[in-house]
Amino acid sequence: MDPTTAMYVAQGVHGLAYGMLLFLVASGLTMVFGMMGILNIAHASFFMLSAYFSYQVLAVFGSFWLALLVAPVVAAAFGVLCERLLLRRVHAFGHMGELILTVGISLVILEGVKVFWGTESLPIHVPTILEGRLALGGLDYPVYRLFVIGLALVVLGLLAALLYTTRLGTVVRAAVSDAGMVNALGVNVPLVFMLVFGTGTWLAGVAGVVIAPILTVYPGLADQMGMDAFVVVVTGGLGSLWGAFLVSIILGELNSYGVQFVSQLAPVLMFVFMAIVLAFRPMGLFGERE
Amino acid sequence: MTSTARRWIGGSVALAALLAYPYLFGIYFTNVFVTFGIFALYAVSFNLLLGFTGLLSFGHAMFFGAGGYGTALALTHFKSLPLLPALVIGVAAAVALALLLSPLMVRLSGTAFSMLHLAFAQLMYVLALKLRAITGGEDGIGGFPVPPFRIPGLVSVNMKDPSSFYYFAAAVLGLSVFVLWFVTKTPFGSVMVGVRDNPKRVAYLGFRVPHTKAVVYLLSAGFAGVAGSVYALFQNLISADALHVANSFTPVTMTMIGGVGSFFGPILGAAIFGLISELTSRYTERVDLVVGLILILVIMYAPLGFMGFVDAVRARARTRFAPRGATEPAR
Amino acid sequence: MILETRDLSHDFDGLQVLARVNLSVRRGERHAVIGPNGAGKTTLFNVITGTYAPRSGRVFFKEEDVTGAPPHALVRLGMGRSFQITSTFPRLTAFQNVRMGILGRRGVRFSLLHMVDAMRDVTEEAEEVLRRINLTAERDLPARLLSYGKHRALEISLAMSTEPELVLLDEPTAGMSRDETRNAVDLIRRLTEGRTVIIVEHDMDVVFSLADRITVLHHGEILATGSPSEIKANQAVRDAYLGEVAD
């Protein structure tokens, strides 16, 4: 394969990897919105928190795999605590109160990590097994990127299986679509809330651990991902997993190729895309009119 | 002593204190006061949307920034531009931006409104960073001439002197706050509140809700632009930081702390916020952490902020000590 | 005819709610629309008052085609509406609520030059309205703290505040006790003097005491239209609806 095509394909793989991670983060965000009607502004900070936790686990135990196992769970636990102790209390005050509360939470997390880990960027090394490149179909791919895509697909496959084949999954999907109705059917909605919130945060946490070796762990980690995830959710349709999936991939590739060709204004591409979609479908690609 | 007489005396004392301030407290605190004034107006303009019309904007910084960049660019490129026109250009920039966005924004409410503002403000921030040639990128635009305040033939006041700038800023910001206060007291102000509480009924009383929202939107943006403009003149610098999402969250925090349900709440919130920042920054760099914690506490335990607390105390005092025939009008 | 609908039809995602409704309301009459739940009464109101445009068919108000016109335009043309679920300004006082209605009637929309509290004529008019609906004592009480009956009275007053030629009342006595209902009917009679009223109601006593003519709606179609005695005697109506209600 000639170098130009090789470069395009490489960009494509990078874009796909980022898109997958973006979907991991955005899926939780969109499901929480579908269920609770709020866009959790602190969602991306849990993503970052998990990255910091993984650094800590690595520093103490030296195992990336342990970090991958433990960090997202701890981050999810934090998330659930926030939901139970903080968000739930503010529910009566309406969506605005919840939104502003998540702003407060995100501020605390964003600054809190600086207190414990400082402001320097903390490198994380790719585990030895995943270093290097793999030759496939005449091209060299970084193994780690392939791992990222693979892991994301596995996790998402499990999530999809859970949602579409189990009874619990059906309940969750119904609750995301219409929490009030599900409540009237006698389902323990607060419990389902907790489950969805926790799982969504866990997914973001997995993305956080996985992206750490690529981007390093630093206090600004949440900024880019947070904005991207939010754009994904709004453009794909609030509460729609398929919409989030499609737009995540599109944005991942837009970012990747954008940096290549439009470089300076690449971040703007994303907003242009969002504006175009919203101009024709203000509720997002797969969203339902409120 | 009648309450009117009391108000006049109170007002006079406050005015005297305001006039004497720079001489009583020195340069450092004079500048602190100017910063407070800027953010107080910024927060009040924000609350015009939230507390009075029910619209929560997470992107108000873009109007603040438009005002700042408008004034800075005007003074950089038009060498002998006088002070007031420079201010007006900044405000015009903010209003122009609002005009551009209003057809879309006035048809939205709730979460959609909030988040789309976040998105647009972020877009502005990215543009400000990337279009280095125009905006100076991360470094921003600085060192532009700050013209004296001049009434031809009468007086020319050098704005580089902190006390002079203080008086100028106090006048501009004070007048702005007064104008906004007056707006809330007009029939239009009543309709605004109606839109907040029940837009459907407002439409069924013959009012055009999107048009009403548009006027509020333009007012809110324009006065945020005033704040941003004064900020640029004060710092002799404007950078992308003014457009950063943190600057959009600032008026939210100030308003919630001070009290979203009252006109003066945001002003109080700006003062408290300024105080907390001052005190916290002596011990740690993590001022935002404290701010975040306070925001969480306020939302959970005192959602109506400081003014809400004051109102509750007043209400309790009124029921206990009310003289017969007292007629305190409801706020 | 102050109001006419022609073959008005509407559906929600395929569920037919109104089917070729031809309603005619004469100027000055009190016209009741009755029918079982789900018959399409509120949808009919929504389509007439511009909440949404009908799937097909036309609405004529004062001989003008107003199909699909937005609420504020219809209000300015002379329509008024009260809602099944009370729609006032809950955090504002009764006085402020009434004043909002008066500002609406006077077309004071973008007035930015006067302080509203200083507008004495507006204040006096509001006090007068409060007197008429017996809410003077509750003048400074937030609307959400009013008793149900008084809150509904405020609702009706708001519907009437723009002095509409045609007012549509959606179940004004819903959830009221015997006494409250009697007061409400009395209030409606007083306030709608000389105006045209279309009223949706389930309380048959109210219907038969207020209405000049009645239209019966069933499954989105008009079953019958006529005077109260004609409707009472109509067999199809008895089978479908009245038979369930004590005569």
In sequence order, the β-bridge partners of residue B141 are B238
Percent of chain C at pLDDT above 70? Answer: 97
User: Total structural domains in chain B?
Assistant: 1
CB contact under 8 A, C114 and B207: no
Distances (CA, A) of B199 to B193, B203, C51, C83: 9, 6, 12, 14
Chain A residues within 8 A (CB-CB) of chain B?
A: 33, 37-39, 86, 89-90, 93, 95-97, 99-101, 103-108, 110-112, 114-115, 227, 230-231, 234, 264-265, 267-268, 271, 274, 278, 282
Count of CB atoms within 10 A of residue C125's CB?
18
**What does the pLDDT look like over C29-84, one tens digit per residue?**
999 998 887 778 888 999 999 888 898 999 999 999 999 899 999 999 999 999 98
What are the chain C neighbours of B330 within 8 Å (beta carbons)? 93, 140
pLDDT at B57 over 60: yes
CB contact under 8 A, B299 and A38: no
pLDDT at B29: 85
Alpha-carbon distance A275 to A271, whole Å? 6
Confidence of residue C244 (pLDDT cuts 50, 70, 90): low
**What does the pLDDT look like over B182-202, one tens digit per residue?**
999 999 999 999 999 999 999
Strands B141-142 and B237-238: antiparallel
**What does the pLDDT look like over C16-40, one tens digit per residue?**
888 888 999 999 999 999 888 777 8
Inter-residue contact C70 to C50 (CB < 8 Å): yes
Task: Give the gap in angstroms from C-alpha A132 to the nearest C-alpha of chain B.
Answer: 34
Radius of gyration of chain B (CA): 20
What are the chain A neighbours of B120 within 8 Å (beta carbons)? 271
CB contact under 8 A, B205 and C88: no
**Chain C residue nearest residue B219, CA to CA:** C112
Contacts of C15 (CB under 8 A, 6+ apart): none
Percent of chain B at pLDDT above 70? Answer: 96
CB contact under 8 A, B187 and C117: no
Alpha-carbon distance C237 to C247, whole Å? 12
Inter-residue contact B269 to B253 (CB < 8 Å): yes
pLDDT at C231: 85
Closest CA to B182 of C116, C102, C99: C116
Q: Residue B282: inside a domain, yes or no?
A: no
Closest CA to C9 of C61, C54, C60, C70: C54
Chains that touch B (3 or more CB pairs under 8 A): A, C
| Residue B302 at interface with chain A, using a CB cutoff of 8 Å | no
Closest CA to B57 of B66, B47, B65: B47
Domain residue limits at B119: 26-246
Give residue for tokens 């209390």: A89
- Give helix B245-258 / helix B265-281 axis angle, nearest 10°: 110
Q: Give the one of A106, A268, A282 whose C-beta lies nearest to B123's C-beta.
A: A268
Q: Residue B157: inside a domain, yes or no?
A: yes
Q: Give the one of B186, B198, B211 whose C-beta lies nearest to C87's C-beta.
A: B198
| Residue B134 at interface with chain A, using a CB cutoff of 8 Å | no
Closest CA to B292 of A117, A81, A229, A82: A82
The pair phi, psi for residue C215, each rounded to 5°, is -115, 135
Alpha-carbon distance A83 to C44, whole Å? 43
Q: Give the one of B115, B286, B288 whose C-beta lies nearest to A39's C-beta.
A: B115
Alpha-carbon distance A79 to A41, whole Å? 12
Percent of chain B at pLDDT above 90? Answer: 48
Inter-residue contact B61 to B242 (CB < 8 Å): yes
pLDDT at B49: 94
pLDDT at C246 over 60: no
Inter-residue contact C163 to C104 (CB < 8 Å): no
CB contact under 8 A, B289 and A234: no
Give residue for tokens 């045609």: C166
Alpha-carbon distance A27 to A204, whole Å? 8
Closest CA to C134 of C90, C206, C80, C190: C190
What are the residue boundaries of the structural domains of chain A, listed by start? 3-221
Confidence of residue B330 (pLDDT cuts 50, 70, 90): very low
The dihedral built from the CA positions of residue A225, A226, A229 and A231, taken in this order, carries a sign that is negative
pLDDT at B327: 46
pLDDT at B240 over 70: yes
Inter-residue contact A131 to A144 (CB < 8 Å): yes
Q: Give the one of B112, B130, B295 whose C-beta lies nearest to A264's C-beta.
A: B130
Count of CB atoms within 10 A of residue B42's CB?
30
**Exposure on the CB side of residue B127, measured as CA atoms within 13 A:** 17
**What does the pLDDT look like over A142-194, one tens digit per residue?**
888 888 888 888 988 888 888 888 888 888 878 777 767 777 777 777 888 88
Q: Residue B329: inside a domain, yes or no?
A: no
Task: Give the gap in angstroms from C-alpha B91 to the nearest C-alpha of chain A.
Answer: 25
CB contact under 8 A, A105 and B122: no
Q: Give the one of B193, B198, B211 whose C-beta lies nearest to C88's C-beta.
A: B198
Alpha-carbon distance C58 to B130, whole Å? 54
CB contact under 8 A, B185 and C109: no
Count of CB atoms within 10 A of residue B171's CB?
11
Alpha-carbon distance A128 to A89, whole Å? 46
**3-class DSSP state of B176:** helix
Alpha-carbon distance C93 to A17, whole Å? 57
Inter-residue contact B58 to B117 (CB < 8 Å): yes
Alpha-carbon distance A3 to B271, whole Å? 61
CB contact under 8 A, A104 and B111: no
Task: Give the gap in angstroms from C-alpha C106 to the nearest C-alpha of chain B.
Answer: 10
Inter-residue contact A33 to A197 (CB < 8 Å): no
What are the chain B neighbours of C111 within 8 Å (beta carbons)? 186-188
Inter-residue contact B34 to B166 (CB < 8 Å): yes
Q: What is the signed CA dihedral for C24, C26, C30, C32, rounded to 10 degrees?
A: -10
CB contact under 8 A, B288 and A100: no
- What is the overall mean pLDDT for chain B? 87
> How open is the CA angle C129-C132-C134, to the nearest 5 degrees?
105
The tokens for B264 are 């003066």
Instruction: Give me the tens of pLDDT residue by residue for chain A, a chain 290 residues long.
Output: 577 777 788 888 888 889 999 999 999 898 888 877 778 889 999 999 999 999 999 989 888 899 999 999 999 999 999 988 888 888 777 778 888 899 999 999 999 999 999 888 888 888 888 787 877 766 778 888 888 888 888 988 888 888 888 888 888 878 777 767 777 777 777 888 888 899 999 999 999 999 998 888 988 888 888 889 988 998 888 778 888 899 999 999 888 888 777 766 777 888 888 888 877 777 778 776 54
pLDDT at B331 over 90: no
The pair phi, psi for residue C95, each rounded to 5°, is -60, -45
pLDDT at C106 over 90: no
Contacts of C51 (CB under 8 A, 6+ apart): C45, C71
Task: Give the gap in angstroms from C-alpha B74 to the nearest C-alpha of chain C.
Answer: 30
CB contact under 8 A, B186 and C114: yes
Sheet holding C221-226, edge to edge: C79-82, C166-170, C196-200, C30-34, C213-218, C221-226
Chains that touch C (3 or more CB pairs under 8 A): B
**What does the pLDDT look like over B68-110, one tens digit per residue?**
999 999 999 888 888 889 999 999 999 999 999 998 888 887 7
**Chain B residue nearest residue C96, CA to CA:** B190
What are the chain B neighbours of A108 within 8 Å (beta carbons)? 289, 292-293, 296
CB contact under 8 A, B111 and A37: yes
Task: Give the gap in angstroms from C-alpha B320 to the nearest C-alpha of chain A.
Answer: 29
**What does the pLDDT look like over B136-163, one tens digit per residue?**
888 888 888 888 887 777 777 787 888 8
The ipTM (two decimal places) reads 0.89
Alpha-carbon distance C238 to C247, whole Å? 10
Q: Residue B303: inside a domain, yes or no?
A: no
Q: How distant is the alpha carbon of residue B283 from its chain centre?
A: 28
Closest CA to A152 of A8, A244, A16: A16
Touching B: C residues 133-172, CB under 8 Å: 140, 158-159, 161-162
Task: Give the gap in angstroms from C-alpha B318 to the nearest C-alpha of chain C.
Answer: 15
Contacts of A73 (CB under 8 A, 6+ apart): A202, A205
CB contact under 8 A, A107 and B249: yes
Helix ranges, chain B (H): 3-50, 61-77, 83-105, 110-130, 132-135, 162-185, 187-197, 199-203, 209-235, 245-258, 265-281, 287-301, 305-321
Inter-residue contact A150 to A136 (CB < 8 Å): no
CB contact under 8 A, B123 and A106: no
pLDDT at C154 over 90: yes
Alpha-carbon distance C61 to C63, whole Å? 5
CB contact under 8 A, A111 and B119: no
What are the chain B neighbours of C158 within 8 Å (beta carbons)? 201, 205
Q: Residue B6: inside a domain, yes or no?
A: no
**What does the pLDDT look like over C195-233, one tens digit per residue?**
999 999 988 889 988 899 999 988 888 888 889 888 888
Inter-residue contact B259 to B270 (CB < 8 Å): no
The length of chain C in residues reads 247
